[in-house]
Structures are given as structure tokens and as C-alpha cells.
Amino acid sequence: MQVHERTRKNNATLKLAILCVAMLNNVMGSATSALGTIASIFPDASYTVVSMISTVPPLIMSVVPFFYTPLITHVRKRSILWLSAVLLLVGGLGPAVFHTNIYVILIFRIILGFAVGFCTILSIDLIVDFFDGKEKHTLTGMRDTFNSLGGAAFTLIGGWLAGIQWYYCFWAVLLGFVFIAIPLIFLPEPDRKAKMEFEKEVLGNQSVDVKVPGSVWLFSIFALLHWIFFYVFITNVAMIVISEQIATPAQSGMIYAFINVGTIIFGLIFGKVFQKIKYVTLFIGMGLGGVALLIASNAVTTGVFIIGAICLGAGSAFLMPSIYAKNGSLTPYKNQSKAISIVSFMIGVGGFLSPFIFNSFGLDGRTQCVVGGILYIVCGALAMILAFVIKPKHNYDLSEYSTH
């Protein structure tokens, strides 16, 4: 009984440590609600340049995966976590001190992007290292919940601080050091070698020693599309509500915070829903995102924008774990870090490209929401169909084999 209780306690501590890493994935959101104010502080900067305060970190996130996979073959994952803490300190707090030049701010946001990039990959990669099967799917959904809890905290605090002085929003990053302290203290180093040896033992070398299939790239493209459409909401709503005098910077921060409310709720139920309807969750996820943009395209009150924000967060909570689940079913544990890195690359590129793609057509913010909403729903239907058509060549779910 004592051994069982100790094991359960250690397992709970492990889960908490990993989920605390996930709480850092949205740390850059602390400045989102201040975009409208920042645009007025730097009137000579274009709309696209101001938007880069929000979109540069995701761009850098797309760079991190290129060296994350080879890095973990030589460096312990705990060492990467410590590196992330240092980058978080410099990149997160730098703009709070050096804020007279928007391009200097962008340099610090680049540094922050590396911190977020490492944390984003680690938060899902560590789940794959330590868990399998239903427990992995449930924890992946909870990852989005904790991701959003952190995002809500950063966004609300950032919006409140921006209401006092616009550049105070960057001080909200201090909260991140509370979150990262827990895994730095309690997270053990995963034994990847032992798990890979077990996989070879139960599946055979021929099934394990394979390349990442093209289907992983295919489903990762839906992550790219998701974040392109997602950032239509992120980069336009603050501009709309401030320019049309619908809300203050603090109130716009509240709108963004409700994205996390949707993610928190749907992230908690994802595991159970996924077990019942499988990849229908892909369509539900992108469909809810489309509804969110269509709502934002016509909203004229803060309350209606909040409803759209909740739908957007709920959609993301169903979509991203579904993509990770599908890609995880298509490749062995040996290649899962690569598969996760591919998704992270797509997330970063999508978030960065979004304003460039939609602004290139000369569309105003509300029209961008209409176009993005329709495309969101169409892509969701396609993702669901492909998920049921494309099957894995082997059963890579190690939970169905004897305990390793």
C-alpha cells in the first residue's frame, strides 16, 4: 500500500511538473492586449510591424524544431529547460526596460520566441516520454488546459499592467518564473533509451527503424492552417475594439483571456471525448474556430467578442491534441520527437504568416475574419476525412503491450 501511494504521488508530481512547462507556452500573450496602444505609441510603424510583437515569437518557434531533435541526442532535456529559463528572463523582461524603439522590442521578442519554442516542444515531448495510450491522450488535453491557464494569467495581468503604462505589460513575464521553477526542481530526466529498447523488443527493428512518414507532414499542415486562421483573431480583435472604441486595452485583454476559458474547459474533456468519437474532434476543433471568426466579424460589443473567444479556445483544445494523437499513431516512439517538432514548426510559421497573408489582400480586420472563418470550417472537414482514410502501418501504442 505504501509503495502504491508513493508511486501515485510521484506520478502526480511528474504530471504537474510537465503541465507547468505547458503554462509557459502562451507567455508572449502578455503583450497582445497592448497592441492597439503600442500602435499609437509608434505611429510611424506599420500595422504589420506592430503585429510582429505578437507574431515574431511564433516565427522563432518555427526555427527551434530544426535543432531540437538533434540537440536532445546530446543534451539532457533538463538542460534545455534551464536554457529556456534564461531565455525567458532576457527576452521576456527586456522590453520592460528597453522600450523606446519598437525594433529593440522585436529583438527581445525573438529571444522570447526561443524560450517559448523550447517549452512548447518539451511540454508535449515529455508527455510522450513518460506516458502512453489513454493516459497520454488525457494528459495532452490537460496540457492545453494548463497552457491556457497560463495564457489567461499572462493576458489578464498584461492587459491590466498595460492600462497603467503600456510597457508594463512585459513585467507579466515574471509570473513565468513561478511556473518554470516547479519542473526545474521536480522533473526527472526521461529514460528515452530504455523506452526505445522496449519498443524494439515488442515491435521488432523493422517496424521501429523507419523514417517519419509523409502523412505526419500532411496532418501537421492542418496545424499550420489552424494557426494562420487563429492569428486572424489574435491580430485583428485588439485593433478592431480599440479603433472602434468598443473596449479599452484592459477590456481587450479580458476578451483574449476568454480564449483560454474555452481551452481550459474543452482541454479537460478532450481525453474522454476522443475515446468515443476519435478524429471527429478534428472537424469540431476547426469548426469552432471558424464560428469564432464569423462571430468576431460582426461583433459590436465586448460580450459578443468574448463568445467568439471562447469558441476559438475550445476549438484549439480539440484540434491540437487530435493532431498530436494522429501523428503519434503514425510513427514509433523513436521518431515522435521529430513528429512533434514538425508540428511545432508549423505552429510557428502559421502564427507568423497570418498577418502577411491576409493583409496582402488589402482586407480590413472584419473581412479577414469572414474569409478566415469559412476556410477554417472547410479545412476541418478535410482533416477529419483524411484522418479516417489514412491508417498507421503498425500499432505504435505501447500501452497495449506489457509494462516497460
359-373 pLDDT, tens digit per residue, is 778 788 899 999 999
258-277 pLDDT, tens digit per residue, is 887 898 899 899 999 999 99
Percent of the chain at pLDDT exceeding 90: 36
Q: Which of 296-300, 356-360, 364-368 has the highest mean pLDDT?
A: 296-300
Evaluate whether residue 403 is within a structural domain: no
Mean pLDDT of the chain: 86
Backbone φ and ψ of 362, nearest 5°:
70, 25
Query: Is there a contact between 368 and 354 (Cβ–Cβ < 8 Å)?
Result: no
Looking at residue 149, its pLDDT comes to 85
Query: CB atoms < 10 A from the CB of 24, how many?
Result: 31
Residue 80 pLDDT > 50: yes
Query: CB atoms < 10 A from the CB of 388, how many?
Result: 11
pLDDT band for position 307 (50/70/90)? very high
pLDDT band for position 320 (50/70/90)? very high
> To which H or E segment does residue 221 belong?
helix 214-243
Evaluate whether residue 399 is within a structural domain: no
- Burial class from Cβ neighbours inside 10 Å (0-12, 13-18, 19+) for residue 404 reads middle
pLDDT band for position 216 (50/70/90)? very high
Evaluate whether residue 245 is within a structural domain: yes
Looking at residue 163, its pLDDT comes to 82
Which of 48-57, 129-138, 182-191 has the least mean pLDDT? 48-57
Mean per-residue pLDDT, 175-192: 89
326-336 pLDDT, tens digit per residue, is 998 898 888 88
Looking at residue 155, its pLDDT comes to 78
Residue 5 pLDDT > 50: no
Evaluate whether residue 400 is within a structural domain: no
Looking at residue 101, its pLDDT comes to 87
Ranges of beta strands (E only) in 214-367 are none
Evaluate whether residue 209 is within a structural domain: yes
Evaluate whether residue 114 is within a structural domain: yes
Which of 30-39, 67-76, 313-322, 359-368 has the least mean pLDDT? 30-39
pLDDT band for position 400 (50/70/90)? low
Q: Of residues 61 and 338, which shows the higher confidence score?
A: 338
Looking at residue 384, its pLDDT comes to 97
229-261 pLDDT, tens digit per residue, is 998 998 888 888 888 888 887 788 788 878 878
Evaluate whether residue 120 is within a structural domain: yes
Sign of CA dihedral 385, 260, 171, 177: negative
Domain CATH for 58: 1.20.1250.20
Residue 3 pLDDT > 60: no
Mean per-residue pLDDT, 372-385: 96
Query: Is there a contact between 120 and 25 (Cβ–Cβ < 8 Å)?
Result: yes
Expressed in percent and rounded to 5, the helix, strand and coil fractions of the chain are 85, 0, 15
Q: Which residues span the domain enclosing 302?
A: 2-393
Residue 71's identity, in one-letter code, is L
Spatial separation of the C-alpha atoms in residues 309 and 155, rounded to whole Å: 13
Query: CB atoms < 10 A from the CB of 210, how many?
Result: 14
Residues 6 or more apart in contact with residue 239 via CB below 8 angstroms: 35, 36, 39, 47, 365
Evaluate whether residue 398 is within a structural domain: no
Looking at residue 2, its pLDDT comes to 38
Instruction: Specify the number of domains making up the chain.
Output: 1
Which of 89-103, 142-156, 194-208, 264-278 has the least mean pLDDT? 194-208
Mean per-residue pLDDT, 192-214: 81
Spatial separation of the C-alpha atoms in residues 309 and 234, rounded to whole Å: 9
Spatial separation of the C-alpha atoms in residues 224 and 272, rounded to whole Å: 26
| CA distances for 193 relative to 127, 188, 276, angstroms | 16, 14, 33
Of 301, 193, 290, which is closest to residue 255 (Cα–Cα)?
301
Spatial separation of the C-alpha atoms in residues 154 and 173, rounded to whole Å: 7
6-23 pLDDT, tens digit per residue, is 444 568 889 999 999 998
Mean per-residue pLDDT, 311-331: 93
